[in-house]
Structure 1
């Protein structure tokens, strides 16, 4: 990288300075797992199975391929430039200020709404024990607790997220072991076994279109992997932590998702999957193991809390980055003595408020509605990560990189095309029609806001920096 390019990006890093480097490599890995193993797996997988049947395994394999490509592209840029603005800062520097503005706000809005999906799921899980208590009570109570956690130091946040994620991993491993034992020892006439893959309409009962729709839900499940890149600015040793976390996370997640889904489909016919409770709980109820259903429901509750905790952290840091870039009020870029941007945290709880209203008015559909509108910003961000990485590599031709994306440019182009196809596919899917309708309107509004209010301001700031 030339000295001019390096100094230009150094100015971005400098304006985002102040966050504490308190996260270890192990905590970085757990933060990524905490963000990606949550409602998408424990509740969203039920919706995916309903769309694709046993073909959901293909759906999640396609999602895993995209996630693997994304992790490679993001690792390359993050090792070179660890900063809280992450892919938003990379888009700003390598594509242009408008791109950075759109990516940051799209991602921030996606995770603000994703927090709402997690807390909506919490209301669903609590009905297992308290079926007559309104979900609104659980939304408010658990949200307040996690807001307090995020207002503490990043070290406290990392420790709590490490504990949450460790519980989830232990539970998933136990689920895989118990599920495999149950399938292996099930009597021939029990209705349990691999015959369930084809005995209810065949391997692809909803056809290849069902598989493609299932892929949309699978991406919602994998979303959160990219949190490592945002957290890199607060890692004790960014290069080591990011490289280790990327490699460990992708292997664990692919194994967790594909193995658990394969066992789920073998134990419970896909026709019984649904979104009114976690399919994990249904499977544990089928095993007949005492208290197994209640225990796994507790774990999926912890998983939702963990993902929500991680998402509050990410939205707060992205709003902090927007403020330091001059794209949001300066108050959101201020830090407490513990290095926490509490004003940005407060703003990032909007999704909780939206979820509370939806759970009060439409408790049966709150989760699916929140998921459909949250997905656009995240999928747009994934698309732009691939595009940005192509610009990054083109502008750094011949420069030594400490981590290189394999198969470039074919892998990056493949990732971008797959993301474009999935985004376009939402327009033809009844359950996700709101995704693209909301997303396109949102991007148009953001572009107008940038052109009217921020373009001139950015040009003036750039000219001032150049003069200095």
Structure 2
């Protein structure tokens, strides 16, 4: 049977990991988060970033503990059973569907910076282009993500470098002086109190979705034992630099009160410098960032459907590869569902981004939580594998319980917040449907097996 090719080199994996930690959640979503938390948003990004790092260390150890692991479903099935694997696999697919929807919506928002056209038009064009590129070899995906991620990295480096220069020179913009005092001069570090700080967690969780993509790409990584630990261990530095560092500069250049949740604070910052072309260039960069994140979403959803099919948890049609060893059927179906994001941006353009990011964040909390629970059971039930591990997750299992408690607290916050409550109350419907589908599918499979057994027994007689 045709298999996925291991064509992702170390540089691809490293940049996919970076690309997974820099996306629409930072470039666009940070404006919404800053509106709620003010300068304290830096603490939110730091807290969630640390939690995600421990999730990734647990995932890394699990992936490398057994040859043949290709996805979360493999791990969940081993430690939590087939029902958990079914629910987690399909939920992870749904996570990335919602994330990719957010990204195509963001593409529409960014294009409106130049052209007064409906958001859904550029969203559809983006999906068609990315579909064509994803139908090529996985190496093509790796190359595309490599360059997309490189653009993001250069942009943030430029922002941080520019901010440092402006701070040293005491530069003045239309928003006022560029100074560290902007962090506390406009209502303090927690201008909206602890409530605003807590309500920012939803968007920050969404900002980190995709960091685990390095795990999804394990099946197509040339040297997972080397590349995956290397990519995961660099996550803390990237969090401090790309998130906390970038936000520190943004908030020094712009008083948080001057930033609009409807636009990218990165575009706003460069426009304040007084170089007319700078804002346009940065808007192009954040546009490519959204396209990159959508590209990652299409890649991951197609591979998830492929793995679900191979596990007999989805139609066998999703397990077929084209001549380039790409799961084309899975890719087509996932792209079709993602296109609903374009429809949503047409129907409710103001609320679309907030709806899909909240649902995405909730589902990712489930998936990350499953990883932590599986790691707890792995340490308890497979001490032989844990003892032989060359990439042991630190401070476990205690840190697993702490992070799970944090995720539970974030869900409670989402329930309290009026903006995120509807999406939180809707999301359980997805899980109820999955449990029903699993029960129906299990009964059908059991009946089919009984028919086969009875037929074989009859033939023997």
Question: Smaller-chain TM-score range?
Answer: over 0.9
Match of 2:25 in 1: 40
Q: Does 1:231 align with 2:217?
A: yes
> Would you say 1:401 and 2:389 are equivalent positions?
yes
1:447 alignment partner, one of 414, 426, 435: 435
Work out the CA distance in 2 between the residues paired with 1:352 and 1:139: 10
Q: Which whole-Å CA distance do the structure 1 matches of 2:205 and 2:161 have between them?
A: 26
SS at match of 2:313: coil
1:460/1:231 Cα in 2 relative to 1: closer, same or farther (>3 Å)? farther
1:127 is matched with which residue? 112
Which of 337, 344, 348 does residue 323 from structure 2 map onto? 337
Say if 2:406 is the partner of 1:391. Answer: no
What corresponds to 1:319 in structure 2? Answer: 305
Instruction: Provide the rounded CA distance (Å) in 2 between the counterparts of 1:184 and 1:84.
Output: 50
- Residue correspondence of structure 1 range 67-216 to structure 2 within 5 A: 67-81=52-66, 83=68, 85-130=70-115, 132-187=116-171, 190-216=176-202
Please tell me whether the aligned partners of residues 98 and 450 of structure 1 are also in contact (alpha carbons under 8 angstroms). Answer: yes
Measured in 1, the distance between the counterparts of 2:318 and 2:303 equals 10
The aligned runs of 1:231-310 (5 Å cut-off) are 231-310=217-296
Q: Contact between 2:206 and 2:358, CA under 8 Å: does it hold in 1?
A: no
For the Cα contact (< 8 Å) 1:84–1:230, is it kept in 2? no
Distance 1:77 1:48 in 2: 33
Superposed displacement of residue 127, structure 1 = 1.2
Q: Does the 8 Å CA contact 1:85/1:317 hold for their aligned counterparts?
A: no
How much does 1:209 deviate?
2.3
Q: Cα offset for 1:451?
A: 1.4
Partner Cα distance (2:155, 2:172) in 1: 28
Shift in alpha-carbon separation, 1:82–1:66, aligned structure 2, 3 A: farther
Aligned to 2:457: none
Query: What stretches of structure 1 of length at least 5 have no aligned partner?
Result: 1-14
Equivalent residue number for residue 57 of structure 1: 42
Contact 1:35 1:308 in 2 (8 A): no
1:361 is aligned to 347
Separation in structure 2 between the aligned mates of residue 321 and residue 82 of structure 1, nearest angstrom: 15
Distance 2:446 2:225 in 1: 30
Q: How many residues align?
A: 447
SS state at 1:339 partner = coil
Deviation at 1:186, TM superposition (A): 2.2
| Superposed displacement of residue 455, structure 1 | 5.9
SS at match of 1:149: helix
Correspondent of 1:423 among 403, 411, 415 = 411
User: Alignment partner of 1:431: what SS?
Assistant: coil
Q: Measure the CA separation in 2 of the matches of 1:459 and 1:227.
A: 37
Instruction: Indicate how the Cα distance of structure 1 residues 393 and 43 shifts in structure 2: closer, same or farther if over 3 A, else same.
Output: same
Q: Which of 356-365 and 293-302 deviates more?
A: 356-365
* 8 Å contact kept, 2:13–2:228: yes
Q: Distance in 2 between matches of 1:354 and 1:115?
A: 10
1:21 aligns with 2:6: yes
Q: 1:95 deviation in Å? A: 1.0
Worse-superposed segment, 347-356 or 77-86: 77-86
After superposition, the Cα gap between the structure-2 partners of 1:421 and 1:164, relative to the gap in structure 1 and judged at 3 Å, is same
Q: CA deviation at 1:351?
A: 4.2
- Corresponding residue number in structure 2 for 1:6: none
Whether the aligned pair in 2 keeps the contact of 1:112 and 1:350 (CA below 8 Å) is: no
314-323 vs 73-82, which deviates more?
A: 73-82
TM-score normalised by the chain length of structure 2: 0.93
Instruction: Give 1:90 shift.
Output: 0.3
- Long gaps (5+) in structure 2: 453-461
Q: Which moved more, 1:49-58 or 1:83-92?
A: 83-92
